Structure 1
């Protein structure tokens, strides 16, 4: 604010008496003036093609060069005209158009279009299509450009990266690919239908080096582990998922049991197998070598459950054993079943078991108490805990599945629908995009309608507990069924095996099944369609397991096969 302006304000209002006060006001106004400075990209005064800020940007060098090349070519065609009068007429028309305001320009263009013939209109259309193409990604602020690229799918993003160097720089940005990984890894994208495996710990995003491993005495400024780009993380998982879909894999065999394999569990680094030969074998997945063999049971090991701290096994000798898998020592033995133990599951200090004595037992390790759940009229072939809802599911030779409340030790619901012995149950929490079969009849073996059976009527579930939404089961009736836990209704039946299904395993994308027909099948969990059938076993497949990039099967001849879809 100038001194004359301050004097003028003093005369009008009488509030500023001297130049010092005017200077103070001027100093106070300067920060506000800086805040009101016009932005760099001024689209009000200039259009995109004539904005000097955009044309001067480093990313626009190629576009400016192309524009200049077109002008040179146009000038050359003008110079090739036959007479000087024609050349001057063209140049004068262009100068007149260039000096006119927006309103006059539109009137001129409208008049020329009205006078143009179809060949000329076609020529105008072709030229306009070339000129109105805008490199909006390079023109927009980087944050906005990255936001736009974040809406693209993988294929479109890779195509965008091939446009130019600037687009490649933005399309390869870690922010974009982090969003892509977040949308696809361990879940199915609702837009493209693709989901990528998690690959726990096998492909950690951190690349560890000897230099990066700092000791306790080193400072916080010591070099840390290098982090891989999210695009690399996405690419390797995309490759594994593509191999799952195309059926590209390599087989690794584990031979060490003297009799049939009854149970197995697959972890990130280890494979554990239980056999009729009364032993448990622990294998290293990386080398394929036998790490340790656990002996102690006096009959076949029908069930096993492994976590980072302990290994629990159930045997045909009617006992349950807890092992230290590192040393191979048996920590404790649980006796209580009157017949073979066919299934075990655990969570922290809780163990559940199913037996051929038709009961389910709940073992509380800390309190040293055991509760017996009765209700099945046949062998209990499988038990599965769902700790978050304090429930347990059991499948039996009586062709039913029961849902138990382990807080009250009562049966909550009975699922009817199988016409053969139920061999495996898996509780799942799934979305609403599952494909259901409305024609799938849920008729109990006695022929009564499901609505007349109180066991599958709506139960007063505790809304505060996160119950599983669905239940997956397999049976010796050759089928795999998907159930709605809340209603108790069977919503889908999957046919494909020609003999009984002994075991199933599932993750967020797939179901793997092993059957008495000596085959394994991989199913799409969302649609229920069979993706691949794997034959080659010389005996019925008794057990299966699934990982992010592989699945494993064990047969009654003692052969264990691992199908690895990570072929890199």
Structure 2
């Protein structure tokens, strides 16, 4: 026997040529046909007028929905083949008690319509296809008796049991019984002379009394009046229905639930629907996901659970990349100090929070033997250190051969000197990878007694990121005071150029000297003498310093040895500007390989002789080379590359990146050069007066220039056209800088302006100075600018002045800052000073009484009394 057919047909005609058989409603119905009119009893009038009970709140024609079953096809093979196809009428479900009268304030879902996805459900019971369809709106069903609808829309019985109630004989087929029941129920609303198909109605109260059976009536009464004892049956019924109907029924239950019940259901259900994908995935895949998060998202994700906290915080590689991506530069020895002192175990917070030296609290050698971080302890003890035992990547067994050779050399040298490196330092020496550094930190300070054991973990590079981030935030917090030291420099001369790092400060002056100071103490480390004129330009990279002077020479210096190693001649006037250009990836070649330009480090100089010159940057260890004067043939100099002629007046400013060089001149033009060939790509004409400043925008392939004509122009490097004229300044625009998508211009009109480099809009005008702006620097957080009497700091995102860093000045020559320190060359009482403001001192544990006060030190870095300021020799 096989069944096939469409999913839903609402026709009740029966075509049968098979032998008489009987079947239940769930299988093929019987093909018997019985004259129903002979068995119908005409209801009495009083029965027709008897009031009917309606618990649903709707009329006879209202319905919750209807079930439609696929036609059943039966094939019987005897000597001939007979096929019987029976189509079932839809089973129309009586609507439940109306919910329209429920208070929506207490029953929020009472008036919510059934979602569209639940109105038409297809499912199977056994191998039988079924369709459940709900009308558009069951709440608005008519409440008064209606004229019977066509056969395809007639109402149905409550359940299969009601069919048995009106069967005249056990042998009758379900379809015949339904037809009989249908025909009899039609008399209640229509007369016998109405020739129409009426709706099925199985309610006991609506059957003719002559057809009511006492036992069936009692069963119907029990069904219509459910009790608490029926709860198991309800649950069993719910378990038996298909998954699709469970969704529909559950929604109907929720519509009838008050708010407290909905809250309870939500509290129970919602947590079970959440999936902790980071905990379920292998650790390697979890870390591969985490690396795409930004810092703010990382910190939020670390608060989700302990598992997430350990996965995210212990991802040393990602935190190291974030540290570099956000411009935080570790000073020399900072990583070693963090490993040695156990910074990775600490979580200092607040303006006075700082990292402590946990090495003094580390276990002794005897304690280390039983330390859970170093010994093979039991599971309960190892569980105290999940970040190391579960989430920390293990040390790699194989390192590169070069690293092994370096480590071997260090071992030999240390043994010959009678010095043994600590175990943790050997781990760092073996590899500079972040996980190797974290393992070294675990060996240096194993499991110190800090914080709660359940939250204790070693997160080295996150601690370094948090430290530098706290320093950056401290700049904008007025309650945080910097450590302030000052020392005399270059007597009464102007400081023309300044550059510094965590170790040293280099200043060039018109007194012909270059001074090197200790950044931490202010002590004078060296004075570089050799130029015969004022030093107007300098820049250093690593241990190599390049300077240009009014004596028309370019000198290369070894900073540590404080000696000049090379001297270049060629310019016939003052060397006004210079830049060290390092190889940079500018794209990819035709084969997809990175394209690096220039091929080697270069020195580019601009002079008042209207020319630019390109030199090779000498390498450490190159032989000494001194030119005593200009050569007849420039190629005789082993470091000479080429001359870039073309300007007709002094070259005032240059900017280079990759293979592109931009120069601004007093001839009112800006030139764009191809460094590798010396070709002039564009001559940008548009300024009506001298050009004083230029910057390159490699990201947008543009350059920007400021001039004496009060304007700032944005040029396209593609075709040399002017994209924007930035107007607003009322005097010479002598300074420009582009950083973190903020273009800042400073002018002699005592104002600075912050521009949008993409569209050329002026974001903010910074006006609080009273004189021409002599120097400034900015990043994505702040602008620090100097004028006649003050050094001010501005919020680059709001344009507001945050604080005055220095006051009571006679002048400000230069200013530079990094993540934690600001260094300024100023004039006080006609004397030149270098002022150092350290906003990271509080993070180093410097006492509060040493913060916020200016301390003057002598050339040895020793603090002197105010009365002895004039005597700086000791």
Shorter-chain TM-score: which interval?
0.5 to 0.7
Query: Equivalents in 2 of 1:305, 1:107: separation in Å?
Result: 75
Match 2:766 to one of 484, 493, 496: 496
Q: Secondary structure at the match of 2:548?
A: strand
* CA deviation after TM superposition for structure 1 residue 275, in Å: 1.6
Aligned-residue offset at 1:281? 1.0
Contact between 2:503 and 2:518, CA under 8 Å: does it hold in 1? yes
Aligned to 2:488: 255
1:216 equivalent in alignment to 2:411: yes
> How is 1:511-522 mapped onto 2 (pairs within 5 angstroms)?
512-515=784-787, 518-521=790-793
CA distance in 2, matches of 1:139, 1:481: 43
Q: 1:550 Cα shift? A: 3.2
Aligned partners of 2:468 and 2:819 also within 8 Å: no
Cα distance, 1:273 vs structure 2: 0.6
Note if 1:97 corresponds to 2:226.
no
Q: Report the structure number with the largest CA radius of gyration.
A: 2
Partner of 1:169: 310
Measure, in 1, the Cα distance between the counterparts of 2:612 and 2:705. 29
Question: Is this contact kept in 2: 1:138–1:167, CA < 8 A?
Answer: no
The Cα offsets for residues 10-49 of structure 1, whole Å up to 9 and x where unpaired, read as xxxxxxxxxxxxxxxxxxxxxxxxxxxxxxxxxxxxxxxx
Q: Aligned pair in 2 of structure 1 residues 224, 375: CA closer, same or farther (>3 Å)?
A: same
CA contact (8 A) 2:740 2:779 kept: no
- Aligned counterparts of 1:326 and 1:441: Cα–Cα separation in 2: 36
Alignment check: 8 A CA contact 2:693 2:705 kept: no
Tell me how far 1:504 sits from its aligned partner: 4.6
- Specify which of 462, 469, 477 is matched with residue 231 of structure 1: 462
* Structure 1 residues 553 and 399, CA gap change in structure 2 (3 angstroms): farther
Q: Which residue of 2 aligns with 1:198?
A: 329
Q: Is 1:457 paired with 2:721?
A: yes
User: Match of 1:456, SS?
Assistant: coil
Any conservation in 2 of the 1:416–1:442 contact (CA below 8 Å)?
A: no
How big is the shift at 1:246?
A: 4.3
CA distance in 2, matches of 1:475, 1:420: 17
Contact 2:689–2:708 (Cα < 8 Å) also in 1: no
Shift of the 287–402 alpha-carbon distance from structure 1 to 2, 3 Å rule, reads same
CA displacement at 1:323 relative to structure 2: 2.1
CA distance in structure 2 between the partners assigned to 1:257 and 1:394 by the alignment: 30
* Whole-angstrom CA distance in 2 between matches of 1:402 and 1:482: 23
1:308 alignment partner, one of 542, 566, 573: 542
Provide the rounded CA distance (Å) in 2 between the counterparts of 1:138 and 1:371.
Answer: 60
Q: C-alpha displacement at 1:272, in angstroms?
A: 0.4
Tell me the residue number matched to 1:137.
Answer: 276
Q: Given the superposition, is the C-alpha separation of residues 385 and 181 from structure 1 closer, same or farther in structure 2, using an over 3 Å criterion?
A: same
Deviation at 1:280, TM superposition (A): 1.0
Residue 834 of structure 2 corresponds to residue 560 of structure 1: yes
- Which residue is 1:337 aligned to? 571
- In structure 2, the CA distance between the partners of 1:469 and 1:197, relative to structure 1 (3 Å rule), is closer
**Does structure 2 retain, via aligned residues, the 8 Å contact 1:474–1:502?**
no
Q: Distance in 1 between matches of 2:248 and 2:762?
A: 67
- Tell which has more relative contact order, 1 or 2 (C-alpha 8 A, sep 6+): 1
Normalising by structure 1, what TM-score?
Answer: 0.61
Answering whether residue 264 of structure 2 is matched by residue 122 of structure 1, we say no
Q: 1:245-266 CA distances to partner (integer Å, 9 max, x unpaired)?
A: 5465624434332122111112
Aligned partner of 1:34 in structure 2 is none
Q: Do the aligned partners of residues 414 and 565 (structure 1) sit closer, same or farther apart at CA in structure 2, a change above 3 Å counting?
A: farther
- Number of aligned residue pairs: give it: 443
Structure 1 segment 46-195 matched on structure 2, within 5 A = 93=231, 97=235, 101=239, 103=241, 109=250, 112-113=253-254, 116=256, 120-134=257-271, 136-137=275-276, 140-143=279-282, 154=295, 157-158=298-299, 161-162=302-303, 164-172=305-313, 174-175=314-315, 178-179=317-318, 182=321, 184-187=322-325, 195=326
Deviations 1:359-396 (A, max 9, x none): 3333457535475444445543333333x21x333334
Gap regions ≥5 residues in structure 1: 1-88, 188-194, 460-467
8 Å CA contact 1:420–1:476 kept in 2: the answer is no
In the TM superposition, residue 101 of structure 1 has moved relative to its aligned partner by 1.5
How far off its partner does 1:294 sit?
A: 1.5
SS at match of 2:654: strand
TM-score normalized by the length of structure 2: 0.42
Indicate the larger mover: 549-558 or 144-153. 144-153
Counterpart CA distance in 2 for 1:379 and 1:441 is 15
Q: CA RMSD in A?
A: 5.1
Tell me, yes or no, if the aligned pair for 1:394 and 1:401 is still in contact at 8 Å: yes
How far is 1:445 from its partner? 5.1
**In the alignment, does 2:510 pair up with 1:276?**
yes
